[in-house]
Amino acid sequence: MKNPDMHKVIKKLFRKVAVITAFLFPSVSFYAQTDDEKDLLSLVEEEEAVNYATSAFKSSRIINGHSIENTPEGVLDFRISHRFGFVNSGPYDFFGLDQAFMRLGFDYGITDRLMVGMGHSNFNKVYDSFVKYKILRQSTGKRKMPVSVAWVSSINCNTLKWADPERKNFFTSRLSYSHQLLIARKFNENLTLQIMPTLVHRNIVPRPEIRNDVLAVGAGGRYKLTKRLSINAEYFYVLPGQMDSMFTNSFSVGVDIETGGHVFQLQFTNSTSMVEPGFITETVGHWEKGDIHFGFNISRVFTIKKRKSPAEW
């Protein structure tokens, strides 16, 4: 995309150089400076001829899972994820509102392509951390790339008390991992679709017939209704023969509302957990039975490291 501020800075710089040169060395032609200016500007324009897709999603999460978007360099994103109980719990539990599950997290952009994060969930008392790197960026113009691609890896630690503290327990038994490849395409200003091949590994499982490694494929998307309002949905399908019969696939729908520095995500989901090994492999809710959580995510960003403007280069 074009950057008029950069052009202004370069032109201003060359004018100053031309005036100083003409004053000190009157025999030097102004045409030489003009040619240099054109050469440098042409290099800038050549680089700017690549137009990258932006704002494929409003947030770094679709609903539960990661979107292709990253937290920008030097920006800290404080995230509150909240789930009420199942709406079919009835009036005694105020249709789920008497129950609450929460994750508090911090995401930070090391660069525009690399971000890290960590958080804590009260469901199963899980601490989690992740690293996310954008490998490819969708672009048009001089450099054409039809999709954006990112990689996310996370580690999760369940800190519930041991079921049998008398036996020999290992810390590694608390750990689980997930690895995802995010492939997304912004088709137009309104529609973005994303697929997410995923591997989840649990160091320990309840029974021998349950696999430690689980392969799943996620799909998600966003459709923008207005400048500040969009509809999101995501679904994670676990490949057959890998999941206990008591669990089911995760499906979520929601609405994103942007208000300045905040992004509110209102959603309905059958997943209680808010970390990948939980909502991908351990979802127990069934939509057709009313096992649906109402919840929300709130994102508030803070600029920790100020980015340099073109005038400061």
**Distance, CA of 130 to CA of 313 (rounded, Å):** 32
Query: Given pLDDT bands bounded at 50, 70 and 90, which one contains residue 286?
Result: very high
Query: Given pLDDT bands bounded at 50, 70 and 90, which one contains residue 308?
Result: low
Indicate if the pLDDT at residue 158 is higher than 90: yes
**Distance, CA of 33 to CA of 36 (rounded, Å):** 5
On whether the CB atoms of residues 83 and 99 are closer than 8 A, the answer is no
Instruction: Using DSSP, state whether 33 is helix, strand or coil.
Output: helix
Neighbour count for residue 42 (Cβ, 10 Å): 10
pTM equals 0.81
* pLDDT over 70, % of the chain: 82
Q: What's the whole-number mean pLDDT along residues 303-310? A: 70
Indicate if the pLDDT at residue 285 is higher than 60: yes
Query: Given pLDDT bands bounded at 50, 70 and 90, which one contains residue 7?
Result: low
Q: What's the whole-number mean pLDDT along residues 156-175? A: 92
**Distance, CA of 77 to CA of 72 (rounded, Å):** 9
Neighbour count for residue 232 (Cβ, 10 Å): 24
> What is the architecture, at CATH level 2, of domain 53-303?
Beta Barrel (2.40)
Per-residue b or e along 174-183, where b marks 16 or more CB atoms closer than 10 Å to that residue's CB? bbbbbebebb
Best mean pLDDT range from 158-167, 218-227, 251-260, 300-309: 218-227
pLDDT in tens, 92-122: 889 889 999 999 999 999 999 999 999 999 9
